[in-house]
């Protein structure tokens, strides 16, 4: 099977909920989670903290517009 990251059109969103003490901790945890997946171009799309924890949608871009896209090059290779 081809590398799954090559097949991602543009980005990976990871949504979860951290039991944490404040938004900054939630943000750091989310970014750490993305890094553990090997994602480098990362950001927090959405975060909402209330007392018990933070609901977060974190994003890792695999391809930005203008990059060489693995999914496209894969098609070309198949041709």
Partner 1 sequence: MNKERPILLAPLDPVHDIGLKIMKRAMDEAGYQTILLPPDYQAEEIIKVALENNVAAILISRTLGYGVAELLARFADLTEAAGLREKVKLAIGGMCIRPELAQELGYDAGFGPGTKPEEVLAFLEGVEYQPDSNANTKEKVAIADGFSYTYKNKRIEKLLDAIVDAILAWAQHKTSPAIKRAQIREKLLKLPVGADRSVLLQEYLKWCDPKVKDFYEKGTMPPKTRPLTSEELARLDSYVSETQKRMTVQKLQHSKTKPVVFIQYGTGCPFMDIAHIKTGEAWGADGVVHFDPSWGARTEGFLEGYLTHEEDGSIITPENLMRIKGSLCEHTLWQVRAHRGLNSPETVLLAGAMGADLTKINIAYGSLGAGTDPARLTVDAIQAIRYAVQYNLPFDVVTNEELCGVPAHKAFAGMLITAHLGRRLGGKPILQPLFCYSPEVMVSGDMSDNYIDFNAAKIMALRNIVDAPIWPGAPIGFLTQTEDRVQSSVTTALHGALASSLGVEAISIASSDEAYSGGPISAPSRIDTLRALKEAFRFFGQAGIKPTEKAEVLAERIEKGIEEVLEKVAAKGDFVGALYDGLLGSVAEGAYPGRAGRGSLLEE
| Placement of tokens 């480098």 in the chain | 40
> Contact at 8 Å (CB) between 77 and 10?
no
Q: Based on CB atoms, which residue is closest to partner 1, 6 or 55? A: 55
Q: Based on CB atoms, which residue is closest to partner 1, 44 or 74? A: 44
Encoded one letter per residue, x for contact with partner 1 by CB under 8 A and - for no contact, window 5-34 reads ----------xxx-x-xx------------
**Chain residues that interact with partner 1, rule: CB under 8 A:** 15-17, 19, 21-22, 48, 50-53, 55
């Amino acid at each position: 099977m081809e590398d799954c990251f090559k097949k991602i059109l543009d980005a990976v969103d990871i949504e979860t909920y951290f039991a944490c003490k404040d938004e900054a901790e939630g943000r750091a945890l989310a970014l750490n989670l993305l890094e553990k997946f090997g994602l480098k171009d990362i950001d927090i799309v959405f975060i909402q903290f209330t007392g018990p924890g933070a609901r977060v949608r974190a994003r890792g871009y695999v391809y930005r517009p203008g990059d060489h896209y693995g999914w496209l090059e894969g098609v070309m290779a198949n041709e």
